[in-house]
Structure 1
Amino acid sequence: MTGKIFQYTTALAAAVLMFASCSDKDYEVPQPKNELQNDAIKRSIGPSLVGVRMEFAYAIALPASKGKLVSAQVEASIAGAPATYLEHRSFFTNGGGQDTGVVVANPSENKGNITSVTFTKDTMAATLRYYYVPGEEARGKEVSFKFTATASNGQTVSYDLGPFKVANMEMKLDIPVADAGARYISIADMAAYNQADAAANADKIDLVYLHRTTPSSFGHALVAPAADPQYLPGITLPAGANRNTKLMKVWQLRDQQLSRDQFGIFIDDLDFQKLDLGEGVNYTLGLAKDYGVWLETADGKYRAYVFVNSASNPNKTAVISIKRYTMK
């Protein structure tokens, strides 16, 4: 029995120490007690977006002499999208530093705003991952979570997290553009169209992607349809494509959600609200990987940040990702 209690204490301590390493400096590690305990943290960082999952870790444990875990659930103040789930595996870090999951419960079920699992393994400690995907109902609102666990001895514990603000802005990742293909970009549709499709959506075209080797400074470019034709060499615009989008090029503003790299930089709603494009122009030249472009559409409805994930000079292609904020 002593060995089992030590196992319980070690498991809970390991879980909460992991939490402490990721939390604020004033976080205090809970002390193991002779009863059911729980703890939770939000693991994902950066703005919360509709359709982009938020990740949490939920640790629960009790002494082996007090029973075993029976169930766990998370109640969200706003029901998540169908992709919301609570892991039925308990995670620990192996000797190689890798997260390893062990099945301890049935796959979770969503009923309204509650996501729950029932334990199937005889276990007295577990760390579960919870993935909440904000739906459209949560846009621009705050969401909170109540984590709850029950044990076979009838004990119940709960842990509250939040509130967390869900941003108004939207995001679209990895849109391929090509000088000889999908070169016409619509911020309203968050999409790139080829010549034929652009003709059917001409009033939505905010940008034209192109690549030119002469002059050498031209390179990869994003240009408004209303720009001087010298910035659209060889381009025959679809009839009706005439928007005068304001643009401003920046370097090394590598939003982590767009770039998915190690830089802890995040563009949020407030950045779009405060954006000043008073000196913006309607063309940007010499773009390359990791460059970005702030923009405002001609009707003032949208502000956006376009990030260049990759660019190929030989192929005259690029991949872009977009964050967009609706102004009105």
Structure 2
Amino acid sequence: MTKFKSYISFFAGAVLLLSACSKNDDYAVPSPKDQLQNDCIKRSLGPNLVNGNIEFAYAMALPKTKGKLVSAQVEATIPGAAGTYLENRSFYTNSSGTDIPVKIGDPSINNGNNTTTNFTVDTNAATLRYFYQVPEEARGKKVSFTFTAKSSDGETVTYKMGPYNVSKMDMALDLGVNDGDSTYISIADMKVYKKSQTVDPAKIDLIYMFRTFPNVTFKHALVAPAAPKEYLTDFVVPAGATNDVRLVKAYNLRDQQLARMQYGVFIDDPDFQAQDFSNMPDFFLNIKQEAGTWVETADGKYRAYIYFNVVDDTKKRMTISIKRYAMK
């Protein structure tokens, strides 16, 4: 039999966590009641992306004298993708600050808009994590959630979260380019292509090169196929590759979702719309690690932000991550 300390102390901890994350300075710790209660916080940060997760922590508790928890459910206004689930483990934080899981029930079941976990242990308090995998259907829309807990004495309590905007953006992480073969970057496909592959030249937006010259700082570079030949140096551009993208250099913009570091900065849909590509160059030379560049494709269909995760002079390679926004 699994028991927790008390529903009062449990909720105090949960609400304090909510207060720390909330921007609402008027939030106050609710008074304990002799009934089933619940609370919820959104744990994930940044824009909500298709194929990514929106994560919540859902807390529920009732006095021991009132019975035990029997089920928890989340209803989304748009059904989640296949990876959506509600944890069947409750988490509490020990004295060292470590989250400790305790199994409380069967694995969750998805049925349309609903995700349900049934409790199989005798407990009167739990905090379950809910992971909503954003489906393609939600792109550019809003999604809301209704959390519900039920107890053995017949009580039901709900908590509503949202609505949350789902971004129109796409994201691709950790794409490798190297001077030897993996050279072509396609914003349209969100992929890197090798010179040895058969590639539609119309899909080549940028060419990665590494060059060193006695009196010119070139090194790592991204160059459009249509850029002046002096920037392409000795590179032979494939026949039919004529895209002329525009680039806006950004040396100190470290998006947390691309960098996977705690910078606390997130590029979102309006940031792409605000960029001005007028009179911008079609090349970026001497690229540095943790810098980035805004890109607009030749047809104006896409804008993107490319972040340079790894820049390696020795191996003449880079690792890049991309966010892309469809303008049309």
TM-score (norm. length: structure 2): 0.96
**Which amino acid letter does the alignment assign opposite residue 76 of structure 2?**
A
The offset of 1:291, in angstroms, is: 0.8
Amino acid at match of 1:178: N
CA distance in 1, matches of 2:32, 2:19: 14
Matches within 5 A, 1:1-328: 7-24=6-23, 25-197=25-197, 199-214=198-213, 215=215, 217-328=217-328
Q: CA deviation at 1:27?
A: 2.1
Cα distance in 2 between the residues matched to 1:269 and 1:202: 28
The CA deviation at 1:249 is 1.1
The C-alpha deviation readout for 1:108-167, integer Å capped at 9, x for no partner, is 111111111000110000001001111010000000000000000000000001000001
Cα distance in 2 for residues equivalent to 1:123 and 1:22: 27
Q: Can you give the 5+ residue segments of structure 2 that lack an aligned partner in the other structure? A: none
Question: Which residue type is aligned with residue 81 of structure 2?
Answer: A
Structure 1: distance between partners of 2:178 and 2:126: 49
**Regions of 4+ moved over 3 Å:** none
Which residues of structure 1 form unaligned runs of 5+?
none
Secondary structure at the aligned position of 1:289 is classed as coil
CA distance in 2, matches of 1:304, 1:280: 15
Q: Distance in 2 between matches of 1:51 and 1:281?
A: 33
Structure 1 residue 6, shift from structure 2 partner: 6.5
**Residues in 1 aligned to 2:228 and 2:170: alpha-carbon distance in whole angstroms:** 30
**Counterpart AA for 1:222:** L
What CA distance in whole angstroms lies between the structure 1 residues aligned with 2:176 and 2:86? 33
Q: Is the 8 A contact 2:91 2:127 kept in 1?
A: yes
Among the aligned pairs, what percent are the same residue?
54
Distance 2:62 2:85 in 1: 24
> How far apart are 1:5 and its partner, in Å?
9.7
Identify if the C-alpha distance between structure 1 residues 242 and 156 changes in structure 2 by more than 3 Å, giving closer, same or farther: same
Using the TM superposition, give the Cα deviation of residue 93 of structure 1 relative to its aligned residue in structure 2, in angstroms. 1.2
Distance in 1, matches of 2:235 and 2:27, equals 58
Aligned residues: 324
Contact 1:5 1:65 in 2 (8 A): no
Instruction: Give 1:111's aligned amino acid.
Output: N
Once the 2 structures are TM-superposed, how far is the Cα of residue 282 of structure 1 from its aligned partner? 0.4
Give the CA deviation at 1:238: 1.6
The SS at the match of 1:254 is coil
Q: What is the RMSD of the two structures over their aligned residues, measured on CA atoms?
A: 1.3
Give the TM-score normalised by the residue count of structure 1: 0.96
How far did 1:308 drift? 0.2
Partner letter of residue 140 of structure 2? G
Question: Displacement, 1:216?
Answer: 5.1
Measure how far apart 1:23 and its partner are: 1.4
Paired with 2:89 and 2:102, the residues of 1 have a C-alpha distance of: 5
